[in-house]
Amino acid sequence: MNTKYIDLIQQTFDFPNEEFTLDKDALKFHDIDLNALVKTYGTPLKFTYLPQISNNIKRVKNLFNTAFEKLNYQGKYHYCYCTKSSHFKHVLETVLANDVHIETSSAYDIDIVEHLKQEGTISPDHFVICNGFKRSRYIDNIARLINNGHHNCIPIIDNYEELDLLSEKIDHKFKVGIRIASEEEPKFEFYTSRLGIGYKNIVPYYDDQIRNNSKIELNMLHFFINTGIRDNAYYWNELHKCLKVYTDLRKECPTLNALNIGGGFPIKNSLGFDFDYAYMVEEIITQIQLTCDAEGVPVPDIFTEFGSFTVGESSGAIYEVLYQKQQNDREKWNMINSSFITTLPDTWAINKRFIMLPINRWEDDYERVLLGGLTCDSDDYYNSEQHVNAIHLPVFDDQKPLYVGFFNTGAYQETIGGFGGLHHCLIPTPKQIIIDKDAAGNMVTEIFSEEQDSAAVLKILGYSPVEQPVISE
């Protein structure tokens, strides 16, 4: 009988695959021996595999370059990384080693840019695309960056006030972009994005505020939708409306030479994930080219802002199943040694699903279970996978440890979860591991941060250290 966990996976998916392989009954992720990782560092554990960041960047660059060559597209392509996806220094350094650019969203992003410039990781030739609603500190930091000679810093105008605020602080002529306030997906609660300027208002805004302003040069039109780049009617409709604005604006503004299509590619959230990246890139470029040719305007340089796609598939989280609770005749709760709310907050906040697989015991029988976190919150659970409304894991045995991995978790989870700060029920931040390859191609690991201890938590809360009493023997 095919009752083992490996049987379930092989009957459901094409397995093994590019990311996951099996060594006997132990799982490997990008050839990382996850069992060995657990034995060395324990759980709960989070890790980042830096080479995968480079792999995804190179993949997208190749897709756009191939499409440009095939279609004889005359513009240039620029890959930008959304820093908000993961701000960690080791992530930014890996990203920038691949000759890409930066997109920022808040004031402190600029401080990171300046730090990396000082180290030589970022040069004045790197584009720094500044998005987001800009409060005074963000305005000041952008102005400082431009005044200090970063000519490729392009603030994206989000509202009617920002242009004047920037002009007051910047000493010389500078470049800007304008963000389109796109319509939201039909099922969304609101009609129009809160960010950007409405489609119909952009050309009048240019005529009124920029056309005759010798200090400002409009270079970029920015287009972004929350759902990212997907092959559906909503995306193509919004893209065509964006292209209509671009061509109308380009006829009025000869300095406009760049279209930022924002958004991002989806990342794998199931072993059954299927997305034709090559088709999407080629079709987007085709639509841009056709529209520009029809309207008699030059094609723009293309900017993309990939955050989740850049870093998401580089990381994972590993937990141990501590205990199983049979709460009724149907529900078995496997309790993990951490919390979903605090360590994978998107599972709680937006019901996001990651690839979930056991690390060991693939040759054991399986059962249907629910996964519960350690907090006292009823929402701290994980009860389904992207492909099916159920979770199956090797049968719980208190004599045989069971470890569970969540994969492609590298985007947003640390910043939203508040890395190193306070968490619900004071659940500590797990140990963080960085995995890379040395010059010889050998895998190397290092501890980025240890598991958060009580002293760190108490300090945040304002408590003084407590001296533990000495117990005499």
Q: Give the CATH number for residue 347.
A: 2.40.37.10
DSSP secondary structure string for all residues of 265-315:
-----STT----HHHHHHHHHHHHHHHHHHHT-PPPEEEEEESHHHHGGGE
Contacts of 317 by beta carbon, 8 Å cutoff, 6+ apart: 44, 45, 46, 47, 343, 344, 405, 406, 409, 413, 430
Higher model confidence: residue 465 or residue 169? 169
Residue 267 lies in a domain: yes
Closest by CA to 384, choosing from 353, 346, 349, is 353
Average pLDDT over residues 4-23: 92
397 shares a domain with 253? no
Q: Check whether residue 113 and residue 257 sit in a common domain.
A: yes
Query: Binning pLDDT at 50, 70 and 90, where does residue 184 land?
Result: low
- Check whether residue 318 and residue 340 sit in a common domain: yes
Residue 262 has a pLDDT of 81
pLDDT tens digits, one per residue of 40-98: 999 999 999 999 999 999 999 999 999 999 999 999 999 999 999 999 999 999 999 99
Asked if the structure places residue 55 within a domain, the reply is no
CA distances from 274 to 12, 57, 267, 271, 277 (A): 14, 19, 10, 9, 9
Mean pLDDT value of segment 294-319: 97
Q: What is the distance between the alpha carbons of residues 239 and 219, in angstroms, rounded to a whole number?
A: 19
Confidence of residue 473 (pLDDT cuts 50, 70, 90): low
The tens digit of pLDDT for each residue in 101-120 reads 999 999 999 999 999 999 99
What integer pLDDT is reported at residue 125 of this predicted model?
93
Type of residue at 177: G
Q: C-alpha distances in angstroms, 327 versus 324, 368, 377?
A: 9, 14, 17
pLDDT at 287 over 80: yes
> How many angstroms separate the Cα of 447 from the Cα of each of 40, 46, 346, 434, 450?
11, 10, 25, 6, 7
Is the Cβ–Cβ distance between 132 and 104 less than 8 Å? yes
Judge if 270 and 323 occupy the same domain: no
The residue from 281, 306, 331 where one domain ends is 306
> Maximum CA pair distance of the chain?
89
Choose one of 245, 276, 306: the last residue of a domain: 306
Average pLDDT of the chain? 94
Cβ pair 324, 334 in contact under 8 A: yes
Is the pLDDT reported for residue 423 higher than 70? yes
* Rounded distance between C-alpha atoms, residue 180 and residue 196, angstroms: 5
What value does the mean pLDDT take over residues 203-220? Answer: 96
Q: What is the DSSP letter of 422?
A: -
| Measured distance CA(294)–CA(2) in Å, rounded | 59
Residues of the domain holding 12: 5-50+314-461
Q: How confident is the model at residue 451 (pLDDT cuts 50, 70, 90)?
A: very high
| For range 155-168, the mean pLDDT | 95
| Res 354: pLDDT | 96
Tell which wins on pLDDT, 391 or 186.
391
Supply the CATH number for residue 262's domain: 3.20.20.10
Q: Percentage of residues in the chain with pLDDT exceeding 90? A: 85
For the record, the structure tokens of 47 come out as 């890790």
Q: 58 in a domain, yes or no?
A: no
Q: Give the integer Cα–Cα distance in Å for 471 and 468.
A: 9
Alpha carbon 453 to chain centroid, angstroms:
27
The whole model's pTM is what? 0.94
Q: Both 236 and 196 in a single domain?
A: yes
Q: Is residue 293 part of a domain?
A: yes
Neighbours of 68 (CB within 10 A): 20
What pLDDT score was predicted for residue 190?
59
Say if 467 falls within a structural domain: no
> Is the confidence at residue 300, as pLDDT, over 80?
yes
232, 262: one domain? yes
Structure token pair of residue 313 = 């598939």
* Interaxial angle between packed helices 233-252 and 277-295, expressed in degrees from 0 to 180 and rounded to the nearest 10: 40
Q: Is 221 in contact with 249 (CB distance < 8 Å)?
A: yes
Considering only residues 83 and 187, tell me which one the structure prediction assigns the higher pLDDT.
Answer: 83
78 inside domain: yes
Are 295 and 341 found together in one domain?
A: no
Query: Based on the domain organization, do 320 and 240 belong to the same domain?
Result: no
**Rounded to whole angstroms, how far apart are CA atoms 342 and 347?**
10
Q: What is the pLDDT of residue 123?
A: 95
Pairing relation of β-strands 366-372 and 355-358?
unpaired
Has residue 206 been placed in a domain? yes
Residues, the chain: 473
Among 256, 274, 306, where does a domain finish?
Answer: 306
Q: Count of CB atoms within 10 A of residue 199's CB?
A: 18
290 shares a domain with 247? yes
428 touches 457 (CB < 8 A):
yes
CA 403 → CA 26, 39, 78, 176, distances in Å? 10, 11, 41, 50
**146 and 14 in a common domain:** no
Do 326 and 289 share a domain, yes or no? no
**What's the alpha-carbon Rg for the chain, to the nearest Å?**
25
User: Do 92 and 210 have their domain in common?
Assistant: yes
Number of domains in the chain: 2
Assign 187 a pLDDT band (cuts: 50, 70, 90): low
Residue 257 or 188, more confident: 257
Q: Which residue has the tokens 């085709």?
A: 286
Mean per-residue pLDDT for 445-464?
95
Does residue 466 belong to any structural domain of this protein? no
